[in-house]
């Protein structure tokens, strides 16, 4: 009987500009989780991001997602669960840190109960917990994902772009909660804006699949969420402009923010793009750090077992 598993889960960037609540991409920045069945109650050890504000509780997503699946899959008794996390993904910055906890719990429970569910099935459980699929799907499947709901089920089509890309994530000091960033979006939008976004997100997927990256500057534009969220992230316009000025295809608000992410060719000077974005944030009054990231193509995985 297995009692211990280690899972690593990638950061994710939802929306990818125009694909609000639909598109997502996994990046090569990872949180690591070890789950161990014990006889000592709930225990949590955290190093790295969020270590000062996460504690063991049935409400912690790393525990609740584990039990959501465990209780459905087995009658096996346990008297304790120890979760050890090493977090590299900053919290409340639009890089899918809460999705990593949800996905890790589900992956661990699935593994310890005999690995009977596929990752596609886990996307559905994860979406039920998260509320929208666009972070959990790429976190599980890797690559870019197009996710949608049909008959109350989350479905996700994963794809890998024709050519490599780099993602330059500029992470500002100020966090932004997803709830607040969602409240900023109006209930309804104009038909014109809906058409704009339908066109841009179709163009984005086509450009990525065909490798026609000259379309990316237009394809990354959005009118469904970014214009409403920009005022919540000091410096957004300046950071977008700075990234484009030094060679990025374009930049977007990663997920609900507050990270801003530039898309660039591997041949571009990505360090220069990162430095320009950081400087633009600083000029606007916010400290920032940046990461030059690649696409993660595998998604969450069990390691070291
Ligand atoms: N699609 C979601 C949003 C992602 O933009 O609100 C948040 O995690």
Ligand 1 lined by 222 (C-beta under 6 Å) = no
Encode pLDDT of 32-46 as tens digits: 999 999 988 899 999
Beta strands in the chain (DSSP E): 4-14, 23-38, 41-48, 80-87, 144-150, 153-159, 166-172, 250-253, 260-264, 288-293, 301-303
- What is the 107 CA–ligand 1 centroid distance (Å)? 22
Question: Average pLDDT in the 146-154 region?
Answer: 93
Question: Average pLDDT in the 266-287 region?
Answer: 97
Terminal-to-terminal C-alpha distance of the chain: 13
> Quick one: which atom of ligand 1 is closest to the CA of 15?
1
Per-residue pLDDT, 193: 98
Within 13 Å of residue 68, how many CA atoms lie on the same side as its CB? 22
> Quick one: which atom of ligand 1 is closest to the CA of 134?
1
Residue nearest to atom 1 of ligand 1 (CA): 21
What's 57's DSSP letter? -
Mean pLDDT of the chain: 95
Question: Using CA atoms, how far apart are residues 295 and 236, in angstroms rounded to an integer?
Answer: 23
Predicted structure pTM score: 0.95
Per-residue pLDDT, 78: 74
Residue nearest to atom 6 of ligand 1 (CA): 256
Ligand 1 lined by 182 (C-beta under 6 Å) = yes
Give 205-263 as a DSSP string: HHHHHHT-GGGHHHHT--SSSHHHHGGGSTTHHHHHHHHHHTT-SEEEE-TTSS-EEEE
Per-residue pLDDT, 70: 94
Per-residue pLDDT, 305: 57
Encode pLDDT of 187-214 as tens digits: 999 999 999 999 999 999 999 999 999 9
Higher-confidence residue of 77 and 244: namely 244
Per-residue pLDDT, 76: 80
- What is the 232 CA–ligand 1 centroid distance (Å)? 14
């Amino acid at each position: 009987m297995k009692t211990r598993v280690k899972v690593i889960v990638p950061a994710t960037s939802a929306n990818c500009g125009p694909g609000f609540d639909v598109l997502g991409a996994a990046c090569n920045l990872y949180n690591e989780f070890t789950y161990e069945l014990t006889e000592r109650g709930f225990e949590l050890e955290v190093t790295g991001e969020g270590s000062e504000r996460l504690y063991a509780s049935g409400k912690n997503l790393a525990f609740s997602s584990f039990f959501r699946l465990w209780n459905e899959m087995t009658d096996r008794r346990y008297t304790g669960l120890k979760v050890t996390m090493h977090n590299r993904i900053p919290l409340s910055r639009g890089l899918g840190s809460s999705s990593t906890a949800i996905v890790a719990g589900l992956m661990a429970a699935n593994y310890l109960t005999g690995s009977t569910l596929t990752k596609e099935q886990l996307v559905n459980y994860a979406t039920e917990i998260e509320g929208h699929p666009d972070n959990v799907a790429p976190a599980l499947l890797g690559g870019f994902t197009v996710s949608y709901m049909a008959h109350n089920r989350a479905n996700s089509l994963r794809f890998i772009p024709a050519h490599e890309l780099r993602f330059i994530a500029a992470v500002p000091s100020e966090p932004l909660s997803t709830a607040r960033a969602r409240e900023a979006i109006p209930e309804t939008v104009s038909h014109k804006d809906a058409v704009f976004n339908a066109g841009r997100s179709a163009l984005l997927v086509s450009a990525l699949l065909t490798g026609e990256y000259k379309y990316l500057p237009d394809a990354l534009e959005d009118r469904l969420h970014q214009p409403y969220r920009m005022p919540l992230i000091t410096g957004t316009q300046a950071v977008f402009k700075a990234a484009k000025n030094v060679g990025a295809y374009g930049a977007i608000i990663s997920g609900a923010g507050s990270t801003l992410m530039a898309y660039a060719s591997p041949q571009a000077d990505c360090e220069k793009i990162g430095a320009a974005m950081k400087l633009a944030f600083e000029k606007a009054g916010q400290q920032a750090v940046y990461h030059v990231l690649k696409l993660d193509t595998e998604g969450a995985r069990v390691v070291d077992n």
